[in-house]
Amino acid sequence: MTDPVHNGDNPAQRSQRTAAASSDLAIELIKINKRFGAVHANRDIDLKVRRGTVHGIVGENGAGKSTLMSILYGFYTADSGEIRVNGTPHEISDSRHALALGIGMVHQHFMLVDNFSILENVVLGAEDSAMLGPSLARARGELTRLAKEYNLDVNPDAIIEDVSVGTQQRVEILKALYRGADVLILDEPTGVLTPNEADDLFRVLETLREQGKTIILITHKLREIMAITDYVSVMRQGQMVETLETKNTNPEQLAELMVGRRVLLRVEKGPATPGDTFLSVENLVVKDDLGVIRVKDVSFTVRAGEIVGIAGVAGNGQSELLESVSGMRDQTSGTVRLKGTPLSLEGDDGAHRARQAGLAHVPEDRQRMGLVTAFEEWENAMLGYEDDPAYGKGIILDAKAARAQARERIEKFDIRPANERLKTANFSGGNQQKIVLAREMERNPDVLIVGQPTRGVDIGAIEFIHNQIIKMRDAGKAILLVSVELDEIRSLSDRILVMFDGKIVGEADPATATELELGLMMAGVTDKKRAAAPARAAAEGKVP
């Protein structure tokens, strides 16, 4: 279902594409189709990737990018269609076959064995013989060579779980190169990286391109496309919408192609009228499950009637901050006050006490945390509040009362299908999020903590959810918003705090702060000169 308005090629682009002789093409996909049950994940996909280029594939979550690349890599088999590698058709039956054809993939979630050394990870699956010794020796030499050639320095004997995420990604790239990959697929490679690590990655990719490798970069971040790619293909709802030369396009056009209609980036909201301080966080220190300090002495306040947004690259301590303030995760030190009263949040029922004190929480990951997807809707509508007298007397639960209340909320929040007896897993992402929002907002809490409110939510629901959050603010509630989508932070927040490496590194006024300023703060750069670094500057680009 391509939008005809955007489907028309301009003549220059068309001639360019037909001019591409097939020998120039490292990869050619023709009419690829893939279904998962009723879901048509890839529909008649055509794609041509020229040798020695960086080719970006953009699209929203669920557009079918990862599926397409998994087919090219042999992890899934296409239902129909043809794959040509260097002009020759191949049936890629499994990953081993893809590797043999020189196709390597760096997955979004790294495929590494945590308690293995880097060397063992590189060798796994590419051993020379039944004995390990010679393979390891050869790999050690080869790693040194590759490290020099592509600037991919690693310590081969380091254990994966001890090294940084950036290093782990290098190991993934080395794995592919060690197997002789000429075509390297990277699936959302920067999602887990700090901006500095992302810069390093882009430098490595540039080196690879110079050496004649072909790179396919899957991302939903337009700034990366603009910064590094030569060509860009846009996917939407399982279909290939358009392939463009990067220098002939711009982020606005790509955004439109991705979404299929003009994106409403600004949320309608009046000026904030902040009142008393409702939430204050003082000198908070939080460790993650592995005992690493992820929140480092953070202090801030949120006042009644304002939305404070926390911006930052994923993995800079935002999740731990949210989990700690909402009582899910023990804090190492510090104080969280609600209307001046310190909250006691220790223990695994901390979240219960936080709720009782008037602090509601819409979690980052609704399926993993916010819902029991195997439960019926009405059961989830009271999750966390099951002790409420409204749901029964004493220890007994009054299912009728709970269902009646669930029905009211379904109507109020326009949750579809409007059936409180339906299993929660059978609701769409947006409707699941509405179930959580309804539950947390209808309690009329003083403070609402919201993490990634619109992740994996369809466009229509996004507007609804944003408006609900604004409504809460206008009703005089204090709202703490965490999102990795900078646009969302900028359009909803009344104040922006930027988090980097576990610390609040700056505060900004969303009305005046530029994308560049925020981006630099998110990268932990306080020195303005760093901004001149070429990759960074290009990456900042002009995103709406």
Partner 1 sequence: MSTAILKPLPRWADVVLLPLLNLLLAFIVSGLVVLAIGQDPLAALNAITTGAFGNGYNIGYTLYYSTNFIFTGLAVAVAAHAGLFNIGGNGQAYIAGLGVILVALPMQFLPWWVTFPVAVVAGAAVGGFWGFIPGWLQAKRGSHVVITTIMFNFIAAAIMVYMVVNVLKPPGVLAPESAMIAAEGRMPKLGTFIPWFRNTDVNFTLILALLCLVGAYILIWHTRFGFAMRALGHNPTATRYAGMSNSRIIMIVMTMSGALAGMVAVNQVVGVQYRLVLDYVADAGFVGIAVALMGRNHPIGILLAALLFGALYQGGNELQYVIPGLSKEMVVVIQALVILFTGAMEGLFRPGLQRIFTTLSPGQKDEAVARNTVKSES
Partner 2 sequence: MDLALILSTLDATIRLSTPLLLACLAGLYSERAGVFDIGLEGKMLAAAFAAAAVAAVSGNVWLGLLAGIAVSITTAALQGAAAITLKGNQLIAGVAINMLAVGLTTFLGIQWFAQGGRTPQLKAGERFTEIQLPFSAELSGVPVLGPIYADLISGHNLLVYIAVIAVPITWWVLYRTRFGLRLRAVGENPKAVDTAGISVILLRYQAVLITGLLCGFAGAFFSIAQGSGFGNNMTAGKGFIALAALIFAKWKPVPAMFTCLLFGFLDALQIRLQGAEVFGIGVPVQAIQALPYILTVVLLAGFIGKAVGPKAGGVAYSKER
Minimum distance from residue 179 beta carbon to partner 2 (Å): 9
Check residue 187 for interaction with partner 2 (CB under 8 A).
no
Q: DSSP of 156-177, one letter per residue?
A: TTSBGGGS-HHHHHHHHHHHHH
Binding mask 42-81 toward partner 1 (x if CB under 8 A, else -) reads --------------------x--------------x-x--
Largest CA distance in the chain: 77
- Smaller CB separation from partner 2, 129 or 512: 129
Minimum distance from residue 103 beta carbon to partner 2 (Å): 11
Check residue 542 for interaction with partner 2 (CB under 8 A).
no
Cα 115 to Cα 128, 162, 277, 433, 444: the distances in Å are 22, 9, 47, 36, 47
Q: b/e string for 154-167 if b means 16 or more Cβ within 10 A?
A: bebeeebeebeeeb
Check residue 126 for interaction with partner 2 (CB under 8 A).
yes
Contact 13, 248 (CB under 8 A): yes
356-359 contact pairs (CB < 8 A, 24+): 358/445, 358/446, 358/447, 359/279, 359/325, 359/326, 359/327, 359/445, 359/446, 359/447, 359/448, 359/449
Look at residue 269 and give its three-state secondary structure. Answer: coil
Question: By C-alpha distance, which of 357, 355, 342, 341 is closest to 284?
Answer: 342
Check residue 95 for interaction with partner 1 (CB under 8 A).
no
How many Cβ atoms from other residues are within 10 Å of residue 131's Cβ? 9
Minimum distance from residue 452 beta carbon to partner 1 (Å): 14
Check residue 397 for interaction with partner 1 (CB under 8 A).
yes
Check residue 375 for interaction with partner 1 (CB under 8 A).
yes
Q: Which does 126 bind (CB under 5 to 8 A by kind): partner 1, partner 2, none?
A: partner 2
- Smaller CB separation from partner 1, 46 or 330: 330
Per CB under 8 A, which region of 121-129, 294-302, 393-401, 423-431 contacts partner 2? 121-129
Q: Which does 107 bind (CB under 5 to 8 A by kind): partner 1, partner 2, none?
A: partner 2
Number of residues that bind partner 2 (CB under 8 A): 31
- Smaller CB separation from partner 2, 97 or 407: 97
Distance (Å, whole) CA 334 – CA 298: 8
Q: How far apart are the first and last CA of the chain?
A: 25
Check residue 79 for interaction with partner 2 (CB under 8 A).
no
- Smaller CB separation from partner 1, 53 or 432: 432
Distance (Å, whole) CA 42 – CA 67: 7
Check residue 327 for interaction with partner 1 (CB under 8 A).
yes
Distance (Å, whole) CA 517 – CA 273: 25
Minimum distance from residue 34 beta carbon to partner 1 (Å): 9
Check residue 265 for interaction with partner 2 (CB under 8 A).
no
- Smaller CB separation from partner 2, 139 or 441: 139
Cα 152 to Cα 56, 166, 217: the distances in Å are 22, 11, 18
Contact footprint for partner 1 (CB under 8 A): 35-39, 62, 77, 79, 326-328, 347-355, 361, 363, 367-375, 379, 383-384, 386-387, 391-392, 395-397, 399, 425-430, 432, 456, 458
Contact footprint for partner 2 (CB under 8 A): 36, 73-75, 94-99, 105, 107, 111-116, 120-121, 123-127, 129-133, 135
